[in-house]
Structure 1
Amino acid sequence: MKFNTTCNGEIEYSEKDVLTFKKGIPGFTDLHNFVIVDIEDNDLFKLFQSLDDPDIGLVIISPFDVIKEYEVKLNEEIIKELSIKKPEDVILYNVVNLNSDIKKITANFMAPIVINITNNYGEQLILEKSNYKIKQPIFRGE
């Protein structure tokens, strides 16, 4: 399937790639269908593209590329909502805040995107009482 985005042109995806966010994501509660697309010539960042609005595409990153020991405790409500059976079924991403100065590129580690890869259900959590930062630098002194 093909989808024309406003900022990233045409992307291709298959039906099995569609992620369902029943509640949407914070700030975009009316958007429920997304895909994750590789960004050409970039192994670090991915595109989290809405299929409901061609204008909405966020850059995301795996938290483990920045903080190897990143850990999120999922409560029973989230586990039930996403039908998570075991930890290996979960993949996490964080939204990136881009900047022309590489040292100022950050990611929001306080609001991870949680995806159950067995059924493609997802939700963006807002962590409470966490030591992670909303604007966690990605590149330290590089």
Structure 2
Amino acid sequence: MGSKSSKIIIGTKAFGQKEIDSKSILHFPEGIFAFEEYHKFVILPHKKGSQFFWLQSLDEPSLAFLTLRPHDILEKYEPELLPDSLSLIELDSWEKAQIYCIVTIPPNQPEKMTVNLQGPILINPKKGLGGQFISADEKHLVRMPVLEIIESGGKL
């Protein structure tokens, strides 16, 4: 059977000390692009009612990525992935994954926030495995303006 759940305290830069369930810890076998040495993460809500989440490293408290679920802002998001790439997180289809995309907000210019649709984070919730993948869909840009997506009604 599965391992028992327990509460642990983690350190974060944004939230200070935070209590999490040990079952919520995700293992990223290859890390995140440019941060390959970090393998343990947890998803934390930004705040109640927000569409944003933090992908918080447990290996480095100062490392956290602001993310959102692409289906919260897009009418349709279907990443085009290499056929065997999902074996990393023990899935055979992206439809079975939880999907998050990294958001970038320029200093003092929240209206210019962008989302990386080309490098989605996919999580196998049953196995606690995650990874960052490349979508080959040419409409999935690294820096898609979030407000433009919302204003278009979620169309690319």
* TM-score, with length taken from structure 2: 0.82
Look up the match of 1:31.
38
Look up the match of 2:83.
76
Look up the match of 1:64.
71
Q: Which runs of 5+ in 1 are unaligned?
A: none
| Number of residue pairs matched by the alignment | 142
Change (3 A) 1:87 1:25: closer
Structure 2 CA distance for aligned equivalents of residues 88 and 134 of structure 1: 21
Q: Which moved more, 1:82-91 or 1:7-16?
A: 82-91
Residue identity matched to 1:96:
V
From 26, 38, 43, give the equivalent of 1:19: 26
Structure 2 CA distance for aligned equivalents of residues 72 and 129 of structure 1: 7
**Structure 1, residues 21-60: CA drift from partner, whole Å, max 9, x if none?**
0011111110000000011244210011000000101100
Structure 1 CA distance for aligned equivalents of residues 113 and 120 of structure 2: 17
Look up the match of 1:111.
119
Native 8 Å contact 2:28 2:129 kept in 1: yes
Native 8 Å contact 1:89 1:118 kept in 2: no
* TM-score, with length taken from structure 1: 0.89
Q: CA RMSD in A?
A: 1.9
From 55, 60, 64, give the equivalent of 1:48: 55
**Does 1:130 find its partner at 2:142?**
no
Native 8 Å contact 1:105 1:139 kept in 2: yes
Q: Helix, strand or coil for the counterpart of 2:36?
A: coil
**5 Å matches for 1:80-99?**
80-85=87-92, 87-99=94-106
Query: Could you tell me how far 1:68 is from its partner in structure 2?
Result: 1.8
Structure 2 CA distance for aligned equivalents of residues 84 and 128 of structure 1: 18
Residue identity matched to 1:109:
L
Give the 4+ runs in structure 1 shifted more than 6 A. none
Change (3 A) 1:53 1:61: same
Q: Helix, strand or coil for the counterpart of 1:126?
A: coil
Q: Helix, strand or coil for the counterpart of 1:71?
A: coil
**Does 1:139 find its partner at 2:147?**
yes
Structure 2 CA distance for aligned equivalents of residues 35 and 17 of structure 1: 6
